[in-house]
Amino acid sequence: MSLLTIDENRLVLAHDRDCARIYRLILNGEAHSRADIGRLLELRSTSVSRVVGDLVTRRLVIETVGEASGRGRPPAILVAHTRRIGASVIYVSSQSLSGALVDLNGHLVAERRRAIASDADNAAIAAAMAELAQNLLDAMPAGMSHAGTAVSLSGLIDLKQGQWLMASRWPRMRGLDIASVLAPVAGPVTICRNLDAELRARAAREPEHFAGGTVLLHWGWGIGLAYAVDGEPFAPAGSFGEIGHWRLAALHDRPCGCGNTACLETGAALWSLLPALRERWPELDQDEIRLARQLAGLDLLALPEIETAAGLLARALANACRLLFPARIAVSGPFSANPQLWARFNTLFRAEGTMDGFAVPELAGVPASHLYEIHGAAAPLISRATEALLLER
């Protein structure tokens, strides 16, 4: 799946718009020759040849000679050079920072990971980020241009200032200036909320399931949500959707990594439930992707802590629906992989009801995958770098 989106309204010249349209056709596999392009866009052969020549010169397209099927010159085949541009993504994975280098089609060119101790401070996390960024640069294949580094974060973020304010995984980290750490290594740098990136990519992949208002709830190491209308995430200048840090009287004085007590996460997040889970099943992993496979076949509801967590989260989500009024809720994370727990959570959520005149939103579990987050974070950088190449004179 291509990560490329280009706003043709920003392309002033007709030739530039033709370049964007033709490149998109080739990248998506809808056109394989100059004749295909001319037929699909109803352009003259001279115009098509000029655009294809520009795309080949910029190494966005590769033109190869096909096999002859009779007399005459064999037709040329046009193929998108998908590794012409790459983008790095650094993201949070349980108690680690992970990095991925992706190409124009979202294929993983390289992956790296660094475990981060729970007592790590700004300096330790900054050093790990810079090392990841450099490792991904070093893994770029010959001929690839680097579009920049996207950092996808959980916790509290100041998007305008480019600061990672707080993450409950690493309570000693406060106000880390992401751009100052990474720009000298692998700029330009963008930062985004991890759930916004995931929701954007899921909506691009399945637009029919993300029409209207949609909430993406993540129930895993932490608890948070993103909200989108017709696939476009609501992305304010700062943090949003931190329902995991709503304070609940039922949780009394349980300490949270955010510095407060009685947060929803202290009774329902993976980090708080893992000790009880491991008492029963010591081999459980803390990586969410591997853990989802492990949890799928376990009798989780045999643990009172899980029943309590499901009830607390169901009420919190129902209250969030009275604020956002979504038509659909997608739930990701390892807990939704367990059929019995999922059925119980669905029942508890529906029992919370809604307001008169409003239907209870559709609730659907979605498979866990970091690829959505990676693609959603990388797409803006990939698109910007491709647009710059298309406009290059």
Is 160 exposed, middle or buried, given 0-12, 13-18 or 19+ CB atoms closer than 10 A?
Answer: exposed
Strands 163-166 and 176-177: antiparallel
8 A C-beta contact, residue 173 and residue 166: yes
Q: What is the pLDDT of residue 237?
A: 65
Q: If you compute the radius of gyration of the chain from its CA atoms, what whole number of angstroms results?
A: 24
pLDDT tens for the chain, residues 1 to 393: 678 787 777 777 888 888 888 998 998 889 998 889 999 988 888 989 999 999 999 999 998 876 655 565 667 899 999 999 999 999 998 789 999 999 999 999 999 999 999 999 999 999 999 999 999 999 999 999 999 999 999 888 988 889 999 888 898 999 999 999 999 999 999 999 999 999 989 988 888 888 889 999 999 989 999 999 987 888 776 678 889 999 999 998 999 988 899 999 999 999 999 999 999 999 999 888 899 999 999 999 999 999 999 999 999 999 999 999 999 999 999 999 999 999 999 999 999 988 777 888 999 999 878 899 999 999 999 999 998 888 876
Q: What is the pLDDT of residue 215?
A: 94
Distance from the Cα of residue 379 to its chain's centroid = 9
> From residue 101, how far is each of 3, 151, 375 by CA, in Å?
13, 12, 10
Closest CA to 197 of 246, 139, 147, 241: 241
Domains 8-80 and 85-197+371-390 share a fold: no
Those residues whose C-beta lies under 8 Å from the C-beta of residue 54, and which sit 6 or more positions away, are: 15, 19
Is 304 exposed, middle or buried, given 0-12, 13-18 or 19+ CB atoms closer than 10 A?
Answer: exposed
Those residues whose C-beta lies under 8 Å from the C-beta of residue 69, and which sit 6 or more positions away, are: none
CATH pick for 85-197+371-390 out of 3.20.20.70, 3.30.420.40, 3.30.360.10, 3.10.580.10:
3.30.420.40
Model confidence, pTM: 0.87
8 A C-beta contact, residue 91 and residue 97: yes
Residue ranges of the domains in the chain?
Answer: 8-80, 85-197+371-390, 199-370
Separation CA 80–CA 70 (nearest Å): 27
Neighbours of 373 (CB within 10 A): 30
8 A C-beta contact, residue 169 and residue 117: no
Beta strands in the chain (DSSP E): 61-65, 76-80, 85-93, 96-103, 108-115, 145-153, 156-158, 163-166, 176-177, 189-193, 213-219, 223-229, 232-233, 328-332, 362-365
Q: Which amino acid is at 286?
A: Q
Q: Which CATH architecture has domain 8-80?
A: Orthogonal Bundle (1.10)
* Helix, strand, coil abundance in the chain, percent, nearest 5: 45, 20, 35
Separation CA 159–CA 37 (nearest Å): 41
Separation CA 274–CA 267 (nearest Å): 11
| DSSP code string of 38-62 | HHHHT--HHHHHHHHHHHHHTTSEE
Is 114 exposed, middle or buried, given 0-12, 13-18 or 19+ CB atoms closer than 10 A?
Answer: middle
Q: Copy the structure tokens of residue 178.
A: 């992401």
Q: Copy the structure tokens of residue 365.
A: 């579990």
Q: Which CATH architecture has domain 199-370?
A: 2-Layer Sandwich (3.30)
